[in-house]
Amino acid sequence: SDAMARIIVTAPQLMSVVNEELPGHEIVGGDHFMDRQEIADQIVTADALLTSLSDPLDAEMIGKGEKLRVIGQCAAGFNNIDLDAARQAGVVVTSTPGVLHEATADLAFTLLLEVTRRTGEAERWVRAGKAWRYDHTFMLGAGLQGATLGIIGLGQIGEAMARRAAAFGMNVIYNARHEKDVAAIDAVNPNTQPTRRVELDELLAASDAVSLHCPLTDQTRHVINADALATMKETAYLVNTARGACVDEAALVQALKAGSIAGAGLDVFEDEPTITGGLMTMENVVLLPHIGSAALPTREVMSRLAARNIAKVLSGESAETPVE
C-alpha cells in the first residue's frame, strides 16, 4: 500500500472523520472550496480526490490527473463527474449511497409539510408583526391524509419518502424505469392503497403532490417542463430535493404565476445558488439552500464512507460503493 499518498479534499469537510479514515497520508485542503484553477493545479500530483458535488470534474480536468487513482465523491449524486473520462483514465469513482436516504427523505417530507401547510408564509406573517388571532378560517392549507403522492425515481431516497408518505396516510404512485419492490412501503399503513408504478403522464395528472427523487441524467433533465406542469392538478404541489435541472425553473415560475399548480418546495435549483426571478417573492414556495442530507450524523457517515472508499482503492482493494 502507498505510504503518503497525496489526497486532495476540494471543499469543506468533516476533517476529523476524514483524517481518522486516512492515517499516514498527505491530506491537502478540506477547509475551503477550491475553485477550478486550484483543483487543476492540485490534481496533477494527486493520488486521490475527495470531492463535492459542485466540483467541475470534466474530461479536461480528469485528464490532468497523472497519478490519479480514485475520486471519492462525498454525495449521492455524481452528475458533476465525467464517468467515461474517468473510466478511460483508469480512475475509480465512488459515491455515498445507502447512508443519506433517510435524512434526505426527512427534508423532502419537511418541504411537503411546509408548502402544504404554508409554514413559511405563516412564520413570515408572525415575524412581520402582522395581526393574528386563533381564527378558524385563517392560513388554511392542504391536507395530506388520503392524498396521492407521485414519486419520480423510486431509488433509496424515493422509497424512504414513500414510507414517510404512507405513515401520513398518503397513497403512493411512482414512475421509474423498472418495477420496484414496494413491500416495505405497503407495510407501513394498512389504510393506504397499494403502491403502484404508473406512466409519467398518469403520475402528473393524478398526484396531489409530485416529489422528485431521480438522478440528473439526459433523460431526467427538465422532466418537469411546461407540459408536465400543465398536466399537474391546479391544486398540486411540487417538491424537489434531487437536482435543480430536473425542473425547468422558468416554466415553474410561469406555472406558479398562472396558478396552474398550487406551490413548490425546493431544496435545489438549476443554477445554484442563483434563484430564478420571481420565486423569491412568492408566498407559496419554500426555498432551502441544498441541505437535503445536512444532518450531522449523516454527514459524518458520508465523510467516513467517502474517505474509506479512497483508503480501500489506494491499498489495492475494491471500493465499498463504486459508481457502476
Please give the positions annotated as active site: 243, 272, 290
How deeply is 273 buried, as exposed, middle or buried, from its count of CB atoms within 10 A (0-12, 13-18, 19+)?
A: exposed
Nearest residue (CB) to ligand GLV, 22 versus 76: 76
Nearest residue (CB) to ligand GLV, 214 versus 224: 214
**How distant, in Å, are the alpha carbons of 46, 70, 118, 164, 230 from that of 283?**
47, 45, 8, 25, 20
Q: Specify the residue for cell string 409554514.
A: 119
CA 85 to chain centre: 24
Whose CA is closest to 209, among 170, 243, 182? 170
H or E stretch covering 200: helix 200-206
Cβ 94 to ligand GLV shortest distance, Å: 13
Cβ 70 to ligand GLV shortest distance, Å: 18
Nearest residue (CB) to ligand GLV, 75 versus 262: 75
Nearest residue (CB) to ligand GLV, 111 versus 262: 111
Nearest residue (CB) to ligand GLV, 73 versus 116: 73
Cβ 243 to ligand GLV shortest distance, Å: 7
**How distant, in Å, are the alpha carbons of 61, 73, 183, 188, 216 from that of 268?**
25, 18, 30, 28, 12
The DSSP bridge partners found for residue 271 are 274
Contact between 66 and 89 under an 8 Å Cβ cutoff? The reply is: no
The DSSP bridge partners found for residue 73 are 51
Whose CA is closest to 204, among 180, 248, 234, 183? 234
Cβ 127 to ligand GLV shortest distance, Å: 29
Nearest residue (CB) to ligand GLV, 70 versus 242: 242
Q: Specify the residue for cell string 396521492.
A: 148
Cβ 75 to ligand GLV shortest distance, Å: 3
Contact between 256 and 282 under an 8 Å Cβ cutoff? The reply is: yes
Contact between 36 and 54 under an 8 Å Cβ cutoff? The reply is: no
Cβ 96 to ligand GLV shortest distance, Å: 7
How deeply is 156 buried, as exposed, middle or buried, from its count of CB atoms within 10 A (0-12, 13-18, 19+)?
A: middle
| Cα–Cα distance for residue pair 19/39, rounded to 1 Å | 20
- Residues at the contact surface with ligand GLV, assessed by CB under 6 A: 53, 75-77, 100, 153-155, 158, 176-178, 214, 292-293
Nearest residue (CB) to ligand GLV, 256 versus 275: 275
Cβ 193 to ligand GLV shortest distance, Å: 21
